[in-house]
Structure formats: C-alpha cells, structure tokens
Structure 1
Amino acid sequence: MHVIFDTDIGTDVDDALALAVLLGSPEVDLLGCTTVYGDTLLRARLTKRLARLASRSLTVLPGSAETLTSREVWWAGHEGRLFPDLSSEKADEGDAVAYLVDQVTSAPGEVDVVAVGPLTNIARAVTAAPSFARDVRHLWIMGGRFDDPAPEHNLKCDPEAAAVVFGSGAPITVTGLEITTTVRMDADDVAAIAEAGPLGEALKAEIEQWWRFWKSEWNCPHDPITVLTMLVPELFAFSPEGRVVVGEDGSSTFEPEGGRTRITTSAPVRQVAQEIVRRIAATGQVS
C-alpha cells in the first residue's frame, strides 16, 4: 500500500501513535508525510525525529500553517517539548500541497492518503488539481461525530476545508468520535509500547505528557484507529456510501445517499487496541 500521512502531530499523542502503526506495518510503503495546522515546521521536525528513532528516513514536508479562512489556531503548548534539540532535524524542502498533488496524480488509483488533522492541506490539493479527487485511491479521515451534533476538533478547526474535501467526490472512509472514543489505551498498553526500542520509549513519554495535560491516565487512540480502517478493514463495519455535510461550526452529519463517503460504524474495542500495540511493537524489531 502506497501511503501519504497528513498530520497535525505533536499535540494529541494519537498522531504519533498512528505514525508508529504505519512504520510497524510491513505492507505499507510510506511515501511521505505532510504536516498541517499551526507550527507545521515543528510538526515536520517531530515527525522526522520519531521516524529516525525507528531507524527510518522519511520525506516530511511542512504544509498549511493557517486554515482556509485564517481561523485562530489552537495550540496546546507542549508540542515538541520533550525534544529540546528538535531544531537539528531538517524538514524536506518543497510545497506540501504540490507534493500531495504530484504523488497522487502521477500514480492514479495507487496512493492512499491518511488525513488525521484539520483538512486544510487536502482541501488545497483538491482545489489546486481537480484530478486529485479522482486519482487518489482512497482518503482515510479521522474526523466528525455522527451520533451527536457537537463538532469534532479536526473539522471544527477548518470546517471550510472539510466541506471542500467531503464535497470533492473522492472515495472517503471517515471514522468519527462515536467510534474512536470507545477504545482506550491504559498503563498496560503503554508498558507494551515502551518495549518498542527508542521509538517506544519516546512514545511512552509523549503519552504520559498527554495524560498530564488532561489529568488522566488513559487516552483514546483516534488516529491509529483510522489507520487500521485502511490496514485491516475486516475488523470494522462501515455504512453504505453516502455523503457528509459539514456545518459552519464543524458539526457533521451523514446522509446515506448521493456521495462516495462511508463512515465507520463499529469496532471491536479490545482487538483494535491490541492491534495498535502489536504494530507499534513491531517497530522495535528493526535490526
């Protein structure tokens, strides 16, 4: 599977966990990563560092820092804090949106894009090249909530971009909070992840930082679950194809007709958590 990972890594730890799942999956050819939302250079450097801890070298391009309508960016403040020498990591040069377009349109039907942050980069790719939506093999999106009118973070951050993407006609699978919040990672999962070499140790520290931020001792692995819908779809149930409508506030509703989007409708909770840990553990087996 030829994959591009579009991420706002560094805030919620789930982006880093999703990257690790991709790195630990031998069936994935991770072509590169694009970062989005806020300090995208810092996010790119963090992506480079985490990949290097797994003995991997990745193409990583900083993408859109601002949303389509220059909405205020939410920034937790702990992004990259665990790596005081992060400025030594060099992001790749180039335009992230142009990279997305070039990779997808040069290999029609062959490249999957996993988008687990605000959808600004993807919307700009759709707008820059109408063929992008036709040529992408599939978009796998973490976003929305389809059992409640409350807006979800990724869509709320840039609802205008989300509306462009969901209206593009691209084949999409979207996994919302009503699914991802059913899965929790706890201390036992973190202990197993920590065994995955230098990357595992770094992930443990990132997880514990996120726990301190929320004053909790567990987290929901939203983004790794989205990655698994691509890698092991047989674990999940999905709706028939329809369309997602995005409100001005980032709220989302699913209409079961008139589009090429399906939503994830169920997941085996413990099996999903175990699969996430298993694939992350595999990153520590690099000789």
Structure 2
Amino acid sequence: MGIPTILDTDIGHDVDDVWALAFLLKCPELDVKLITTCTGNTIYRASLVAKILQLMGRTDIPIGIGIPLDDNPHTHDTWLDDFDLDQYPGKLIHDGVGAICDTIMVAKSKVSLICIGPVPNIAAALARQPAICDNAKFVGMHGSIYRGYLNAPKPAREFNVMTHALACEAVFKASWEKVITPLDTCGNVILDGERFARIREAAKQQGSTSAASICLENHLLWFKATCDWPILKRMDPQLQSSILYDLVAVYLGFTEHSLDMETLSIVITPDGKTLIDEQGQYVRCALNWHNKNEFLDLVTERLISAPVSSCISPQD
C-alpha cells in the first residue's frame, strides 16, 4: 500500500484544488484515508469532493466536514448542479477535525497530511490532540520565500497563510516534520501546449467519469465564473490551465524528486508573511525546479490515464 494520506482542501473557489484532487486519486504512492474541507461553506466544498469521488469510483474515501469560516464565492456551482450530498453513498463525518485526529492516531505508519488551503482545521486538530505530530508529516501549499505571485522578484503574503495567519503560525510551530511548496515553485505551474491538448482529448474520449474530464469541465465553467479576475484577463481557457498551485503539494506528499529543497528556519507573522528567521521552526522548502518538465509530464500522464472501471466499496 501507499503512504497513508489526508487531504485538507478549500475546493470550490480557485479551480486548482479540483486538479489536485484528481491528481491525488491517480497517485498509487498515496493511500488516501480521508479528505476534509476547510474554511468557507464546508458543506458546499464537501459536495464538490463527494461528486468527484463518486464520478471517479472512490466513495470508499471518507469525507470530513471542517470548520466553516469566511465564505468566498462558490465558483463551481454550475458544475455541482443539483448534486445532493444527502444521497451520497460514501461516509460523511461532520466532525472533520476529529476525523483528522482519529485517522492520524490509528495509522500504522506516518501520515502525509497534505494541506492546500488555509489551516484552521489543522490548528484545531493540534489543539485537540497534540500527539498527531508524532504520526504525521505536514505537507503544505503555503508561503512565499524569495518570489511572489506570477514569479514576482519579491515575496508576497500568500493566500493560504494570510487567511487565518494565527492558525498557520500554530501549525508551523508544531513539532512535526514540515514540507512546503511556496509560491517560489507552485506559482508558475501551468499545463499548456501538447500537455493541455492531451488532457482535452482524453476528456473527450474517456467521458465524464475520467479525471481529465472532471478537470476540464471544472476549468471551463470556473473560467466563465471568474473571467473578470485580473489575473485571467490574458488567459485562453481553451489552450491552457490556470495556475495549478496545489498540484505541487500533492507531489510532495510522495516525492521531492524534481525539486530543489532547502531546510529553512521559518516564522509566520500575524499579518501573514512567511519569513526566514533564526527564531523560527525548520521547514523543508521547495525553492526551485531542477526538472519541471518531468513533473508536468507525470501530472499529464496520470490525469489522462484510463479511469478505473468499477467502484471500490466504502470503508467500514
């Protein structure tokens, strides 16, 4: 079996979470034990997770509903359509924080806790059960060390840190192993050219239950809902993806092979900066790519691989 894995996601605003979840489900290195939804309307987010799991035949994975805080626009409502979470055949856990604690504590080997949104769920889990640090590794799409959004030469206050910065500070101060992809490496990940064309073709050939189709449908409908965002003004959604920040965190859940890593002493400030400071905690940071094409090819190959033909039964 693969590495026991939990995904904590704020799926339903930026579309990169959809791509990350689809990629995660195509990674045999990761044995997904739980997916939790964080911040905003966590029931809406859980509905998106549930629809994707049902389409991809993975209703065996429990869904934990996290803490609802600071809602943002529901940019995936059109794709979600009339999906009814009450009719979902898989396991729903309304105490998502408790589910995180329980899943980590019973795991037979160290859990990759992959976090691709703000981290109030994780801070709450640490407060409830500090011993989770002993059996989990925090893997996050968080921060900005030397470069900011769109490869800007100065670091920025990154969204997942800035939103609930005190929760992020608690998570980074915890004693577990910490690995992050800051904007330095995740802020320039786009699928375009032949890779994007192959995803479009796979979506057409494989149908609505495929990872490629789920990603492409969400991508196109999300773009219609967000095309007034300044960052998207020059983007042609028929030719490329948006920036897929969260894919890199999933990749780090099982390998660092294509990345240049450095261990830095990091502090999170109350206003959401990610600073190198000798008073901080050691964090392994993905600062550069040494083979980005290898990573993009891996993502593409997995997303276009044929769907599993039958559904796995839900876990007891």
Does TM-score exceed 0.5, indicating one fold? yes
Q: CA deviation at 1:283?
A: 5.4
Asked if the contact 1:186–1:219 (Cα under 8 Å) also holds between the matched residues in 2, the reply is no
Correspondence for 1:87: 84
The aligned amino acid for 1:178 is D
Q: In structure 2, the residue corresponding to 1:250 is in which secondary structure?
A: coil
Correspondence for 1:75: 72
Correspondence for 2:111: 111
| Alpha-carbon spacing, 1:181–1:201, altered in 2? closer, same or farther (3 Å) | same
Correspondence for 1:70: none
How many residue pairs match? The answer is 279
- Using the alignment, how far apart are the partners of 1:209 and 1:254 within structure 2? 39
Percent identity reads 24
Q: CA deviation at 1:43?
A: 0.6
What root-mean-square deviation, in Å, do the aligned CA atoms of Structure 1 and Structure 2 show?
2.1
Are residues 1:208 and 2:220 paired?
A: yes
* CA deviation profile, 1:173-213 (whole Å, cap 9, x unmatched): 01111211222122643432341532322210211234342
The aligned amino acid for 1:122 is I
Q: In structure 1, the residue corresponding to 2:122 is in which secondary structure?
A: helix
Q: CA deviation at 1:251?
A: 1.3
- Using the TM superposition, name which of 186-195 and 4-13 deviates more: 186-195
Q: In structure 1, the residue corresponding to 2:84 is in which secondary structure?
A: helix
Asked if the contact 2:76–2:222 (Cα under 8 Å) also holds between the matched residues in 1, the reply is no
TM-score with structure 2 setting the length: 0.82
The aligned amino acid for 1:8 is D
Asked if the contact 1:170–1:260 (Cα under 8 Å) also holds between the matched residues in 2, the reply is no
| Alpha-carbon spacing, 1:254–1:192, altered in 2? closer, same or farther (3 Å) | farther
The aligned amino acid for 2:266 is V
The aligned amino acid for 2:257 is E
The aligned amino acid for 1:263 is C
Q: CA deviation at 1:257?
A: 7.7
The aligned amino acid for 2:143 is G
- Using the alignment, how far apart are the partners of 1:165 and 1:4 within structure 2? 15
Q: In structure 1, the residue corresponding to 2:284 is in which secondary structure?
A: strand
TM-score with structure 1 setting the length: 0.89
Are residues 1:62 and 2:65 paired?
A: yes
- Using the TM superposition, name which of 152-161 and 275-284 deviates more: 275-284
Asked if the contact 1:169–1:260 (Cα under 8 Å) also holds between the matched residues in 2, the reply is no
Correspondence for 2:259: 236
Q: How do 1:12-91 and structure 2 match up within 5 A?
A: 12-57=14-59, 58-66=61-69, 73=70, 75-88=72-85, 89-90=87-88
- Using the alignment, how far apart are the partners of 1:153 and 1:257 within structure 2? 23
Q: In structure 1, the residue corresponding to 2:94 is in which secondary structure?
A: coil
Q: CA deviation at 1:62?
A: 1.1
Asked if the contact 1:24–1:281 (Cα under 8 Å) also holds between the matched residues in 2, the reply is no
Q: In structure 1, the residue corresponding to 2:114 is in which secondary structure?
A: strand
Q: Which residue among 283, 286, 299 is the counterpart of 1:261?
A: 283
- Using the TM superposition, name which of 200-209 and 186-195 deviates more: 186-195
- Using the TM superposition, name which of 96-105 and 190-199 deviates more: 190-199
Q: Which residue among 236, 244, 248 is the counterpart of 1:225?
A: 248
| Alpha-carbon spacing, 1:255–1:238, altered in 2? closer, same or farther (3 Å) | farther
Correspondence for 2:191: 185
5+ residue gaps, structure 2, are 147-153, 227-231, 311-316
Q: CA deviation at 1:112?
A: 1.3
Asked if the contact 1:123–1:165 (Cα under 8 Å) also holds between the matched residues in 2, the reply is yes
Question: Which has the larger Rg?
Answer: 2
Q: In structure 2, the residue corresponding to 1:25 is in which secondary structure?
A: coil
- Using the alignment, how far apart are the partners of 2:176 and 2:160 within structure 1? 18
Asked if the contact 2:267–2:279 (Cα under 8 Å) also holds between the matched residues in 1, the reply is no
- Using the alignment, how far apart are the partners of 2:97 and 2:265 within structure 1? 24
Asked if the contact 1:133–1:170 (Cα under 8 Å) also holds between the matched residues in 2, the reply is yes
- Using the alignment, how far apart are the partners of 2:164 and 2:15 within structure 1? 20
- Using the alignment, how far apart are the partners of 2:27 and 2:7 within structure 1? 14
* CA deviation profile, 1:86-120 (whole Å, cap 9, x unmatched): 22453603311111111112236421110000011
